[in-house]
A and B are shown apart, each in its own frame.
Chain A
Amino acid sequence: MPVYIARKLAFFLLAVIAASIAIFLLIRGAGGNVAAIILGKDATAEAINALSQQYGLDRPMVVQYFDWIGNLLQGDLGRSFRTNEAVTDLVVSRLSISIPLCVSGLLLGLLIAIPAGTYSALNSDKPIGALIALLSQVGIAVPVFWAGILLSLLFGVRLGWLPTGGWTNWDTNFWGAVRSLVLPVISLGVILGASLTRYVRSAVLDVMNQDYVRTARATGMTRMKALLQVGLRNAALPIATVVGLQIAELIGGTVIIETVFSLPGLSRMILANVAAREVIVVQSTVMLIIIFVMFINLLVDLLYGALDPRVRLTR
């Protein structure tokens, strides 16, 4: 197990370094600069160059990369060119929206997927099992933004039960903040739940066809009892992997949901800063997300290793 952990940690560190270089090159390679965007089309080349120089964007790329990484390692994520706000402050202020949105969306997705997927697998030969499978397929095909717009139209415009969008701060009005999140969480959770249902169903079906489950059933256990006592641990492995991967997808999904519902979350902040070529804000924030997602996947890998000894022996 220690070798397995060391190998996974080394891979994690290498991936983080590679990601930092990729992020740096991608945002620089996209062209354009923040000075030109701030100053607009009427600015002279001299004014743009002067502002770029002020921001340090005229320095060699290598110097800029190591400067950024050096500061990052010391916990300094940098400052916005446009407002001089610390990136740390910007990120922290957005997390109070993005974390509840992502966590609630994921929980809702799991709350839908685990019972629905399991029930569908256990009843795969009945119409209800086929119906759940069908609905999950429909759910996968529905774009998140479309689900969001429909929910907003129905519950916001038509029925007037919930806000169509916008954000109320937690400290201004707690229930207002909760209400702001209901529709975005449902949009994310239902769509996520649909795709997770498929994975859960497949995993349970796979486990139910294994010899050890058949043996357990031969001892007189019911299907449910055999699943819970023997199959669950094995079915959890692929599901855990998929949930880990879905977290990255979830962050992608929040970009759209935050835009549809006008939530000032982390994803929307990144999108706006990419458009404005706020390179430091984008680099640092995306790096944080990459580290987070990789860390989750590292945890999943370690969990996998703990649950299944065979995994520890593979290269």
Chain B
Amino acid sequence: MSEISKSVRLGLTMLSAAVAIMAAAPGVALAASPRAEEGKMILVARQDPGTLDYTKSNLTALRLWIPANVVEPLVYFNKDGSVSPGVAESWTISDDRLTYAFTIREAKFSNGEPVTVEDVIYSLNTMKASPVTQNSSAYQAVESIEKTDDRTVTITLSRPSQGFWRGMGSTAALIQPEASADTIATNPIGSGPYKLVSYTSNSSFEFTANENYWGDAPSVKDVTVRIITDGTAGLNALEAGEVDSLPVITIDLWEQLTARGLDDKFSMVTYPQIGEPTYAVINQKLDPELRQALAMTLDRQAYNDAFGAAWGAENTCTFALPNQPWYAPESPETCPYPYDIEKAMALVAEKGYASTPLEYASLSDVPDLSLPADIMVPTMQAAGFNMTRNAIDLARYSQLIFQGRPPQFDVTVMSGDADPTQFACPDPNAAGWSTYCSAEYTQALSDADEALTDEDYLALMQKSADILRKDAVIVPIIAKKGVGLFEPDLKGFVEPRVAVAIEFAPLHW
């Protein structure tokens, strides 16, 4: 017995020694990245896209790396609202905003083939027919896409459309060569500053500067994007000096980031474009007063606190990103149903909502979305709602919620950077996952799309946001910002110009 106790003591001593060595061993000193002199950089991606076919896939994991680096849109919309040339070197817009003529630049794709008007027409038609709504919706008012001459494409609209013009600077207008369409899923070709050398799923992307690029050659010639799905492993790699940046740090790592002091060791950027509004969706089939009572249980500050980084998210009742002009933070004016658990409890008791069984569908494999559910569901139950949580994976979620007709849930939480037009639903019989079929809202968005001036557009978008928040179907909670960590010597980061794309070309040592 005494021998066994001795052995136990010895074992414990050895374990303690191992832990002590680990704690005491000095960390690797931060030095200039060894990649700086070699003209290279290594970034980290948290997700593997599985496919690079952006015409069919809308996954953020893809849109971060391919647009703006490999494949370019016709134009770029800058942070200040100005528009820069892309594949189109110039353009004219008719006064009635019905005719757009794009002059295509004399340039080559990365495979050495010239960019032709035919390629542009093919690309735009492909996106017009794309099953991805965010691509095809830009073309709702498009009547024709025609070749005017060897360098000009003319697009005619049936009505003015803000969505069309903004779409020409988004993924909806990415230009690819028709001849390479068959290999787009593994090797997209474009006219951007970089070309993709290789893509190994769940491992890495390798990019190198495109020698045929029409603009200035990028400062960093070779770029590797390592796919590290485990967040802690990604932070470890950064701390160990193996990689130069995690340009997109998801919300589940914010607390760890500050706890490890990485915000002091590295340059931290926060930017709105890549962030996402997080919002509750309450099924429209529920009684409006029941929806309002549910909305009163949403404690925005509690969700914000749970992510452990006040600099990363703003409380809001507006479906928008903070860089969109109609965005407004949480305030008595913008929140018709502020957090009020006592009032919610009183309504539950008064209206007898406790007898209504409700199902909360939560996405189990996305930490950003399971954490809000951890807070929401107990609060709703505490208010007296008869709420059951159903935690499911993405594939099942997409079947029950996105594909379901009608969607199988009462409350859920979602996160996404898409336009507020995604909730428009002209036909209630076609109610989809948002379950928000409001003729008034759809009309307001349609009016905004047809606005001839930016001022009219903004006013009508604000009107749409008001309608959305009053109906308590889509209930915004927080607007997350994009957060990135960069090796201090790696400078030049610019906020995304094409959807959420991280641009390599402006980065330099």
Interface of A toward B, CB cutoff 8 Å: 30-33, 36-45, 47-48, 50-51, 82-85, 93, 126-127, 130-131, 134-135, 138, 149-150, 152-154, 156-160, 163-167, 259-264, 268-269, 272, 275-278
Contacts and interface: CB of A to CB of B under 8 A. Distances in A.
Top-8 shortest CB links A-B: A32-B395, A264-B203, A47-B131, A160-B28, A82-B51, A40-B58, A42-B133, A83-B185
17 contacts: A32-B396, A32-B399, A36-B398, A38-B51, A39-B56, A40-B134, A44-B133, A45-B405, A82-B57, A83-B50, A153-B22, A154-B22, A157-B239, A165-B230, A166-B242, A262-B228, A276-B50
Contacts of A149: 232-233
A58 to B, nearest CB: 13
B467 interface: no
Nearest to B239: A157
Contacts of A138: 11, 15
B388 to A, nearest CB: 19
Interface residues of B, number: 66
Contact of B28 (A40, A131, A158, A275): A158
B53 interface: yes
A138 B400 CA distance: 43
A107 B377 CA distance: 48
B429 to A, nearest CB: 12
Contacts, number: 187
A150 B414 contact: no
B418 interface: yes
A83 B186 contact: yes
Contacts of A269: 201-202
B361 to A, nearest CB: 13
Contacts of B27: 157-158
Contacts of B32: none
Interface of B: 3-4, 6-8, 10-11, 15, 21-22, 25-28, 48, 50-53, 56-59, 131-134, 185-186, 200-204, 226-230, 232-233, 236-237, 239-242, 365, 393-403, 405, 414, 416, 418, 422, 432-433
Nearest to B14: A135
A303 B60 CA distance: 52
Contacts of A84: 185
Contacts of B242: 156, 163-164, 166
B50 A262 contact: no
Given A157-B28, A163-B242, A40 B132 contact: yes
Contacts of A38: 51, 56-57, 59
A150 B22 contact: yes
Nearest to B198: A169
Contacts of B233: 149, 152, 164-165, 260-262
Given A157-B240, A166-B228, A131 B11 contact: yes
A159 B201 CA distance: 29
Contacts of B51: 38, 82-83
B185 A82 contact: yes
A280 to B, nearest CB: 14
B67 to A, nearest CB: 15
Contacts of A30: 395-396
Given A38-B51, A38-B56, A83-B186, A48 B237 contact: no
Contacts of A277: 395
Contacts of B228: 165-166, 262
Contacts of B397: 32
A135 B432 contact: no
A37 B422 CA distance: 17
B395 A42 contact: no
B236 A272 contact: no
A135 B201 contact: no
A167 to B, nearest CB: 5
Given A31-B399, A40-B59, A82-B53, A166 B237 contact: yes
A272 B48 contact: yes
B28 A159 contact: yes
A39 B131 contact: yes
Contact of A158 (B15, B26, B58, B396): B26
A42 B134 contact: yes
B56 A160 contact: no
A28 B405 CA distance: 20
B460 to A, nearest CB: 21
A51 B25 CA distance: 54
Contacts of A272: 48, 50, 201-202
A31 B240 CA distance: 41
B51 to A, nearest CB: 4
A194 to B, nearest CB: 12
A68 B22 CA distance: 51
B230 A85 contact: no
A284 B50 CA distance: 17
Most buried by B among A150, A165, A259, A275: A165
A31 B6 CA distance: 54
A36 B402 contact: yes
Contacts of A157: 27-28, 236, 239-240
Most buried by B among A41, A42, A134, A149: A42
Given A38-B57, A152-B233, A264-B203, A31 B7 contact: no
Contacts of B405: 45
Nearest to A271: B202
A84 B28 CA distance: 43
Contacts of A160: 28, 240-241
A275 B240 contact: no
A153 B235 CA distance: 10
A261 to B, nearest CB: 7
A122 B200 CA distance: 49
B229 A259 contact: yes
A165 B237 contact: yes
Given A272-B48, A272-B202, 15 more contacts: A36-B402, A48-B131, A83-B186, A83-B201, A127-B4, A152-B236, A157-B27, A157-B236, A157-B240, A158-B25, A165-B237, A260-B230, A262-B229, A268-B202, A269-B202
